[in-house]
Structure 1
Amino acid sequence: MAFAYGSDAGRWPDSMRSLYETEPVVRAVLDRCDQAFEEETGQSLLAVVFADDGAHADTEGADWSVAAEYAMQSALTALWQSVGVEPAVVAGGGGAGELAAAHAAGVVGLETGMRLAIALARVPAGEGATEAPEAALVEIEAALGADTASRPSVTLLSSADGRAVEADKTLDAAYWLRHARPAALGVDALAGADVGVVVEIGGAEVHPDSTAPVVPGVLRANVTDPCEEFVRSVARVYELGIDIAFEGLFAGESRRRVALPSYPFQRRRFWMEPRSTSDIGGA
């Protein structure tokens, strides 16, 4: 099982608002991200996620779309995990996708990933690890904090070269600067990975050249009801042989068992039987 992360969250406002209002797991993750974002910027991340006018920048010009995409994809990761679906491989697509994949792999905590997204949003466009100002490196190091010592708990495919991140590799500030911009090499590398199913996270349409079936993301632009689409996606994953914790589908809902009749069927047939050829000939 692999989770593929992109850097384009598709239709944000209506889709995420629907998931936020109906899925407690999604709401909990987005609320935590919103709190971390507000502590760092003094602004509301939910206002960015639900912005109908596409306003993703602050007055200083920082593009908060990376932070919004990271939060949304982390929330969708948690939603899949709530039904018992855990990836053995995660593939980043650079930018928000790389951060969300790293969080899913246990490299960074949720709030640390949000601080990283904020720091990366403040790096001027076009700057990478070699030409970025020292101030950017310092800010990213501060955002990482103690999480610099974390190691991937599952296979993490890097968007920079498509290779699995070594278990003993420290993902420092220079690493994150190299992955600040969208790229698809991590996702493309799924073609050579030993995975049975690929689940798209978010709205980016990632199509790895792989024989493994791909379950589309619930935030794709052509999805009208993301909640219903998620249920269909879970059914598809189950159909493909992945165990599902179905109780996770009903989190926060009141359900009751309905007793079915205990008497046996009467086993009386009322179907019209086909006429034999002899009956037809003698007619």
Structure 2
Amino acid sequence: MKKYSFFLLFLLMSTMSFAQQSYQYVIIPTGFSDIGSGFNPHGVSSVLQQLFDSKSIKTVFETAERPADYCEALTVDLEKVPNMFQNRLLVKLKDCQNRTVWSQEGKGRSKDFQQGYAEALADALSELKSLPENVTVQPGIVAPVPQPKERVQMQSQSQVQSMASTPVVNSGTDDELYRPQNLYYNLTYFVDVVTVEQGKKRLVLVNGELLGYENLQSVAILTPSGLSDVYTVEWTQADGTTVTGVANLTDIELKISLPAGQEMEVIRLIKY
């Protein structure tokens, strides 16, 4: 009887241990209607990515397709807290059943929205050292997928070309926010593919600070090679040096091959 009781206790403890594993990563939306319109309003999505990365917490950007391990992730939700003197944000982490499992309000001293929101996010996440324990993942659970609050708002091709003509574009107002038109991504960063003269393409790195660039920095020019969907690439690295490689661009994928010492580095991004 004692052996049987011990076995049940061991089984219960093992089950509890499995059920209380931490969440594996965080999903960051690229639109927050409560903060502003368009893609990455006031840079909050990029700031969230950088803050979680500094804590060694894995992040991916939200897409319309639900990942297979969706219930092992938490999704960020932001609410603007009304205040006349400070920029305040309530940061929530929600599970796959749209339940809030962690929340904290942060304050930003700057009156500028972009800087003030960045300060508020840093303040809210300052006490978060790791992701909370996941007690919701169970075999057979099928959770509803919350739809993104806001998708990317598009502008005309001429407007996008005009904004991407300078290496770096930063702004603090909704009317002047960069609105990409042809995004590709790899769950870490976004690249906007902008058509310029004579069939060439300009690659604008939208959230480049994580890679040592400025946000909204032009990093490459794609020149048609004469072969279908094949381009030569002049890529500017974070230290300012340039390398020449090859790119294959389709409506589904952007694949770039760049020299890295004696080998080739392959960058793959899919259409957003």
Q: What TM-score does the superposition give when structure 2 sets the normalisation length?
A: 0.24
Structure ID, larger Rg: 1
Higher relative contact order (CA 8 A, sep 6+): 1
Q: What TM-score does the superposition give when structure 1 sets the normalisation length?
A: 0.23
Name whichever structure is richer in helix by fraction. 1
